[in-house]
Amino acid sequence: MRNVGIIGVGYTPVFVSKRKDVNIAELISEAVDAGFRETNLKPEDIDAFTFGNMQTFEGLNMPHLWASDHIRALDKPIIRISTGGTTGMSTLQAAYYYVASGMYDVVMAVTWEKHSEGDAQVGLSGIIIPEVIAMVQSGMDLAGGRGVGAMGGGSTGTAAYQAMSYLHHSGADPEHIDKMAAMERSNAAKNPYAHLRKETTVEDIQATPFIAWPLRYGHTCPTTDGATVCIVASEEKAAKLADQVAWITGLGACASDPCTGNLIEGQITDPAEQEPCCIASAKALEMAGIEDPKKEIDMCEMYDGFAHQSLMWLEKTGLCEVGEAHKLLDAGELEIEGRIPTNASGGVFSTNAIGTSAMNRPAECALQIMDRVEGGHKIPKKIKNALAHGWGGMFQYVTVMILSDTPRKLYPDGR
């Protein structure tokens, strides 16, 4: 296995609800061109491409093929990745393994979403289908189908069920969700690439209506049009192509049974438990040689479509103890100037082009490490190690990536 680093990041000029001025191919090409400009690379310098998007959300077939000329991928190897909300990081992980394996030296990971030309909620609501099939085969679960019923509301229904459970187990209050929402929206106001850019107070959040207790409208993410690319290279190539590199030193991915009901032996019953996150994070941290994440991780970017989730993920990734995240929030330690800045970019909570959302997390970490942040959300301290997190699949698939300012120390056998 070779060391692999991110040498460049490219975003579309803006992330907004509707990009009526461009079609999908043009939207993607904006990010690709931005990646080339940042790295001073040309299409012939890219050996292969990974391409991430969910076909069902826009109702398109094989977009990586018909968009190949727009991303400068003609006559180049290309593979499409689709893992739901985690698609972005899965696409970057695929690019990592292309390079780490020695198959290619320079790979561009391309991700996108154009919500304004699709209906993601239809796809998200389809998550209930396996549950219904299981009930037909095995009967109603012991809880009377409450978890399955929540899924009928799509992502928001399940998120409300998850938030309720998280508050119960952590000791946090609904007001902590309000506070986290206000902090992240205010962070996004400093980020020129964020979608919802408005300084927000706790009172602003509390003035929004409830959707499903304990979640308010102000606790939910937007739907966004946008695209992102990351260019990764081997250690040898990176030394020639870039002055600054964000090294991918650890990564993990884990899935549990796709179920939020209590159907059939072994399926999860609590969407706030998130054991896959604990496993994926432990694997990524071990690979990166991080022994004490509470002390060694300098920042994190969490996948938080809903405001309670960053608090939950902080605990599940091992960056704090269970029940401690809301205390860190109260102490100001999650803010941009705090001990463990969390979602300095504003997170998925403020910019949600789903196909890109999980890749924007390591992309934002990389920009902080490489000191290339545009905007007031730059973290003032030096970032040595950062944790990026993705959440998706059928609400049970988690990806975690560790990025560092120095390459990983390889084992004698090359691992």
207 found inside a domain? no
Least-confidence region, from 161-175, 252-266, 388-402: 252-266
Closest to 293 measured CA to CA, from 271, 317, 309: 317
Q: Is pLDDT of 130 > 80?
A: no
Cα distance between residue 7 and residue 366, in whole Å: 9
Cα distance between residue 145 and residue 142, in whole Å: 7
189 found inside a domain? no
78 found inside a domain? yes
Q: Is pLDDT of 360 > 60?
A: yes
Look at the block and give the residue holding tokens 């990745």: 81
Q: Which residues contact 30 (CB under 8 A, 6 or more apart)?
A: 12, 13, 22, 227
310 found inside a domain? yes
Q: Is pLDDT of 324 > 70?
A: yes
Residue 132: C-alpha distances to residues 135, 143, 148, 251, 263 (Å): 5, 15, 8, 34, 10
How many CB atoms within 10 Å of residue 289?
A: 14
> What is the 3-class SS of 234-300, one letter each residue?
EHHHHHHHCCCCEEEEEEEEEECCCCCCCCCCCCCCCCCCCHHHHHHHHHHHHHHCCCCHHHHCCEE
How many CB atoms within 10 Å of residue 237?
A: 20
Least-confidence region, from 89-93, 292-296, 328-332, 409-413: 409-413
Cα distance between residue 141 and residue 153, in whole Å: 18
Cα distance between residue 215 and residue 161, in whole Å: 9
Task: Report the CATH number that the domain containing residue 377 is assigned in CATH.
Answer: 3.40.47.10
The torsion angles phi and psi of 207, rounded to 5 degrees, stand at -80, -10
pLDDT in tens, 156-174: 877 888 899 999 999 999 9
The 8-class DSSP code of residue 408 comes to P
pLDDT in tens, 176-191: 999 999 999 999 999 9
- The confidence band for 129, taking pLDDT boundaries of 50, 70 and 90, is low
Look at the block and give the residue holding tokens 């400009």: 37
pLDDT in tens, 290-310: 999 999 999 999 999 999 999
Three-state SS at 66? helix
- Domain extent, residue 242, equals 4-120+221-404
Cα distance between residue 30 and residue 16, in whole Å: 14
Q: In whole numbers, what is the pLDDT of the chain averaged over residues?
A: 90
141 found inside a domain? no
pLDDT value for 20:
95
156 found inside a domain? no
184 found inside a domain? no
Q: Give the count of domains, the chain.
A: 1
206 found inside a domain? no
Residues in the chain: 415
